[in-house]
Amino acid sequence: MNNSYKNHHEVVIVGAGAGGLAVAASLLKRRPDLDIAVVDPATEHSYQPGWTLVGGGVFKREQTRRPMASVIPKKVKHYQQAVVSFHPDVESIEMSNGERLHYNILVVSPGLKLNWDAIPGLKETLGKNGVTSNYQWETAPYTWQNVQQLKHGKAIFTQPPMPIKCAGAPQKAMYLACSEWLSKGVLKDIDVEFCNAGGVLFGVADYVPALMSYIEKYGINLNLGQTLVAVDGERQIATFEITNGEGQKERIEKDFDMLHVCPPQCPLDFIKNSPLADDAGWFDVYQDTLQHKHYENIFGLGDGTNTPNAKTAAAVRAQAPVVAENVLSVLVKQSPRAVYDGYGSCPLTVERGKIVLAEFVYGGKVKPSFPKWFIDGTQPSYLAWLLKEKSLPWVYWEGMLKGHEWLVNPVIAAKPPRQ
Domain identity same for 282 and 260? no
Residue from 201, 247, 238, 239 nearest 223 by CA: 201
Q: What are phi and psi of 110, to 5 degrees?
A: -90, -10
Domain termination site, one of 229, 248, 265: 265
Give the C-alpha separation, 305 to 135, whole Å. 19
Residue from 259, 247, 277, 243 nearest 192 by CA: 259
If you average pLDDT over every residue of the chain, what do you get? 95
Residue from 360, 340, 341 nearest 299 by CA: 340
Residue from 284, 286, 406 nearest 25 by CA: 406
**Per-residue model confidence (pLDDT) at position 3:** 56
Catalytic residue among 166, 178, 195, 262: 166
Q: Is residue 337 in a domain?
A: yes
Q: How many separate domains does the chain show?
A: 2
Domain identity same for 131 and 186? yes
Q: Is residue 384 in a domain?
A: no
The band of 1, judged by pLDDT with boundaries at 50, 70 and 90, is very low
- Per DSSP, 279 falls in state T
Domain identity same for 70 and 176? no
The percent of residues in the chain predicted with pLDDT above 70, rounded, is 99
Higher pLDDT, 416 or 326: 326
Domain termination site, one of 342, 370, 403: 342
Q: Is residue 76 in a domain?
A: yes
**Per-residue model confidence (pLDDT) at position 49:** 94
- Given a cut of 70, whether residue 141 has pLDDT beyond it is yes
Domain identity same for 106 and 185? no
Domain identity same for 40 and 179? no
Give the C-alpha separation, 163 to 174, whole Å. 20
pLDDT digits (tens, 9 = 90+) for 231-240: 999 999 999 9
Q: For residue 264, is the peptide bond before it cis, meaning its omega torsion is within 30 degrees of 0? A: no
Domain termination site, one of 288, 309, 342: 342
Domain ranges, residue 165: 114-265
Kindly report the three-state secondary structure assignment for every residue of 231-254: EECCCCEEEEEEECCCCCEEEEEE
Q: Is residue 353 in a domain?
A: no
Catalytic residue among 178, 195, 262, 346: 346
**Per-residue model confidence (pLDDT) at position 4:** 52
Q: What are phi and psi of 83, to 5 degrees?
A: -90, 130
Domain identity same for 254 and 317? no
Domain identity same for 239 and 197? yes
Catalytic site includes residue 346 = yes
Residues 6+ apart with CB under 8 A from 201: 171, 208, 211, 212, 215, 222, 224
Residues 6+ apart with CB under 8 A from 104: 1, 9, 10, 11, 91, 297, 331
Domain identity same for 122 and 239? yes
Decide if 96 contacts 81 (C-beta within 8 A).
yes
Q: Is residue 358 in a domain?
A: no
Q: Is residue 361 in a domain?
A: no
Domain identity same for 84 and 120? no
The residue type at 118: A
Q: Give the CATH number for residue 93.
A: 3.50.50.60
Q: Is residue 225 in a domain?
A: yes
The alpha carbon torsion through 371, 375, 379, 384 (nearest 10 deg) reads: -150
Q: Is residue 418 in a domain?
A: no
Domain identity same for 57 and 122? no
Q: What are phi and psi of 45, to 5 degrees?
A: -120, 130
Residues 6+ apart with CB under 8 A from 400: 18, 22, 25, 316, 317, 320
> Could you please report the per-residue DSSP string of 186-245?
-GGGEEEEEEESSSSS-SSGGGHHHHHHHHHHTT-EEEES-EEEEEETTTTEEEEEEE-T
Domain identity same for 125 and 261? yes
Catalytic site includes residue 266 = no
The percent of residues in the chain predicted with pLDDT above 90, rounded, is 93
Domain identity same for 131 and 198? yes
